[in-house]
């Protein structure tokens, strides 16, 4: 798909965000459906209808269905600008999104525009809508599909960018009057994590073992984590990389971002408290990070831009950007105890509270010369808000176990117990529609016996 002028392309992209646009896939039109026609997030799925369809491939979520992009391409209804038919087929039939992301922003946007037109209820292009046999090949019921880790992740970095979270932790473990360290207000604090243990939603997470320093003992003991916690975060994927020694400018950093996911950076607080001085988290974070399977593009989030919090002091020049760079994303954490019929919502917060923006995080990450690769994942850090119930971790919600939270069906939690299922959810609210992330789910398995 090509356009006569850049303005024509911009108008076509803008049309995909029209709040009045509805889909002929009726489930997508429910006001509480995460996967509206305004969303169109990308992911990787498989299903077992036959040998070919059992393979992992690229899909887009719409209502309660998945659009098989390779099948749509085979039907002649989807093109990737700048790529031959064979190259496009290879990209869309791949087991990860990496090749699609590497194809560039023009390709991402072209696919979004083509899909929006094909799926729109009132559009003249009825090639998919009115062809039952083709719909059978191209549309897969979400319930019949398996969702996979969407990206081959070469690198993972976790930031610490919520002022409320950093203040709570600093007050809890250091001096409440000087909760933030001097450097926190000057730059996005982060650390290089481990990409190998990032897993997709639904993957069980085993309680980690490690060194624990008990107050009454001189030396540490080895055993299962006793203070297992969640960290409610979002993450963003790099879609356009950068070369070694070439920083990414803050003003253009968002051009490198493909999209966002929900992210739960599971944390072993007792292991962390003993190991984090002098170099920060290690085993306390390395056992698992869970992400949601659908990647919501920045184009889909565009209507939900809001002004980021005021930054004082003004950041150094390389961290400055004009305009609005926060997003109004409602976030929740739900805890369901083993055997419970329903979950308890233990946290409600919003991504708009984040002090440091994604653009600033990326600019700071690369300013010393670190290169970015397609598929690199950046975690926001725990997202906490200004109220007690908007804290994005049990560490804060219970103030390190001193104030346990009550569960709907009885009992309390100071930290996570074996068998607990934790669910992160997030969405943007439009006029009669949502742009949602789906859910990010993990259930805790008991630790392996010591020595095994």
**Helix, strand, coil percentages for the chain (3-state, nearest 5):** 25, 25, 50
Residue 361 near residue 233, CB atoms below 8 Å: no
Separation between Cα atoms, residue 335 and residue 421, nearest integer Å: 6
Between 105-119 and 6-15, two packed helices, what is the crossing angle to 10 degrees?
50
190: which strand partners? Answer: 159
Active site annotation includes 148: no
Specify which residues 348 forms β-bridges with: 332
Taking the mean position of all CA atoms in its chain, how far away is CA 112? 19
Spot the catalytic one: 73, 165, 321, 353: 165
| Beta-sheet strands, E only, within 25-155 | 42-46, 57-62, 65-68, 139-141, 146-147
DSSP per-residue string spanning 109-146: HHHHHHHHHHHBTT-S--TTTT-HHHHHHHEEEGGG-E
- Residue carrying the six token digits 């269905």: 65
What's the number of CA atoms in the CB half-sphere (13 Å) around residue 126?
7
User: Could you give the C-alpha distances from 324 to 254, 308, 356, 357, in angstroms and in order?
Assistant: 12, 6, 12, 10
Q: Strand 156-159 and strand 377-379: pairing? A: parallel
Please tell me the distance from the alpha carbon of residue 84 to that of residue 97, in angstroms, as a whole number.
Answer: 18
**Do 47 and 144 contact (CB within 8 A), yes or no?**
yes
Q: How many whole angstroms separate alpha carbon 73 and alpha carbon 67?
A: 11
Q: What are residue 290's DSSP bridge partners?
A: 199, 264
Contact between residue 67 and residue 24 where contact means Cβ atoms under 8 Å apart: no
Strand partners, 229: 267
Rounded to an integer, what distance in angstroms lies between the CA atom of residue 164 and that of residue 170?
10
Nearest to 420 by CA among 438, 394, 402, 396: 394
CB-neighbour burial class of residue 36 (10 A; exposed 0-12, middle 13-18, buried 19+): buried
Catalytic residues: 165
């Amino acid at each position: 798909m090509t356009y006569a002028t850049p303005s024509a392309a911009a108008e076509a992209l803008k049309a995909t965000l029209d709040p009045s646009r509805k889909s002929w896939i009726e489930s997508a039109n429910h006001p509480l459906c995460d996967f509206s026609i305004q969303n169109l997030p990308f992911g990787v799925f498989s299903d077992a209808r036959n040998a070919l369809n059992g393979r992992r491939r690229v899909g887009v979520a719409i209502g309660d269905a998945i659009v098989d992009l390779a099948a749509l391409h085979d039907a002649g209804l989807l093109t990737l600008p700048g790529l031959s038919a064979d190259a496009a087929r290879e990209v869309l039939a791949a087991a990860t999104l990496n090749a699609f992301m590497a194809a560039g922003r023009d390709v991402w946007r072209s696919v979004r525009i083509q899909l929006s037109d094909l799926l729109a209820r009132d559009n003249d292009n009825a090639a998919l809508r009115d062809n039952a046999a083709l719909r059978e090949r191209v549309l897969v019921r979400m319930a019949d599909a398996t969702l996979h880790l969407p990206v081959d992740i070469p690198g993972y970095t976790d930031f610490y960018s919520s002022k409320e979270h950093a203040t709570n932790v600093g007050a809890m473990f250091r001096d409440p009057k000087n909760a933030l360290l001097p450097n926190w207000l000057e730059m996005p604090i982060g650390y290089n994590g481990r990409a190998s243990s990032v897993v997709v939603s639904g993957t069980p997470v085993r309680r980690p073992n490690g060194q624990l320093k008990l107050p009454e003992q001189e030396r540490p003991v080895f055993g299962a984590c006793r203070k297992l916690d969640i960290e409610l975060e979002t993450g963003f994927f790099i879609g356009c990389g950068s070369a070694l020694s070439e920083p990414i400018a803050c003003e253009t950093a968002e051009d490198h971002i493909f999209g966002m996911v929900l992210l739960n950076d599971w944390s072993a607080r007792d292991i962390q408290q003993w190991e984090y001085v002098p170099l920060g988290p290690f085993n306390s974070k390395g056992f698992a990070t869970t992400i949601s399977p659908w990647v919501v593009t920045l184009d889909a989030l565009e209507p939900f831009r809001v002004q980021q919090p005021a930054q004082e002091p003004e950041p150094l020049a390389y961290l400055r950007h004009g305009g609005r760079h926060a997003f109004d994303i409602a976030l929740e954490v739900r805890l369901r105890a083993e055997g419970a019929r329903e979950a308890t919502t233990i946290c409600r917060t919003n991504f708009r509270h984040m002090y440091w923006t994604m653009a600033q995080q990326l600019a700071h990450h690369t300013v010393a010369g670190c290169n970015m690769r397609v598929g690199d994942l950046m975690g926001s850090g725990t997202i906490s808000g200004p109220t007690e119930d908007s804290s994005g971790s049990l560490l804060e919600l219970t103030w390190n176990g001193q104030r346990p939270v009550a569960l709907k069906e009885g009992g309390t939690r100071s930290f996570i117990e074996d068998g607990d299922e934790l669910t992160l959810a997030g969405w943007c609210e439009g006029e009669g529609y949502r742009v949602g992330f789906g859910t990010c789910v993990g259930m805790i398995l008991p630790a392996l016996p010591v020595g095994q």
